[in-house]
Amino acid sequence: MVVFAFLLMLMSFRSLTIAVTSIVLNLLSVGAAYGILTAVFQHGWGAGLVGAEGVGAIVSWLPLFLFVILFGLSMDYHVFVVSRIREAYLAGRTTKDAVVHGVVTTAGVVTSAAVIMVAVFSIFGTLSMQSMKQMGVGLAAAVLIDATVIRGVLLPAVMSLLGERNWYLPKWLGWLPDLAHDEPAPARRPSTLVGVSPRPEADERPRPARV
Residue 187, domain member (yes or no): no
Give the CATH number of the domain where residue 150 resides.
1.20.1640.10
Q: Is residue 138 part of a domain?
A: yes
Report yes or no on 79 lying in a domain.
yes
Is the residue at 70 inside a domain? yes
Domain of residue 70 covers 2-169
Per-residue pLDDT tens listing for the chain (211 residues): 789 999 889 888 888 999 999 999 999 999 999 999 988 888 878 777 777 766 677 888 999 999 999 999 899 999 999 999 999 999 989 999 999 999 999 988 999 999 999 999 999 988 888 889 899 999 999 999 999 899 889 999 999 999 999 998 888 877 777 766 555 444 434 434 444 444 444 444 545 555 4
Domain assignment present for 33: yes
Alpha helices (runs of H) in the chain, residue ranges in sequence order: 2-13, 16-37, 47-50, 62-90, 95-125, 130-145, 155-162
195 found inside a domain: no
Taking the C-alpha atoms of residue 196 and residue 199, their distance in angstroms, rounded to an integer, is 9
146: in domain: yes
Which residues are CB-contacts of 173 (< 8 A; sequence separation ≥ 6)? Answer: 10, 14, 16
Answer yes or no: is 185 within a domain.
Answer: no
Report the C-alpha gap between 99 and 202 in whole angstroms. 45
| Total count of domains within the chain | 1
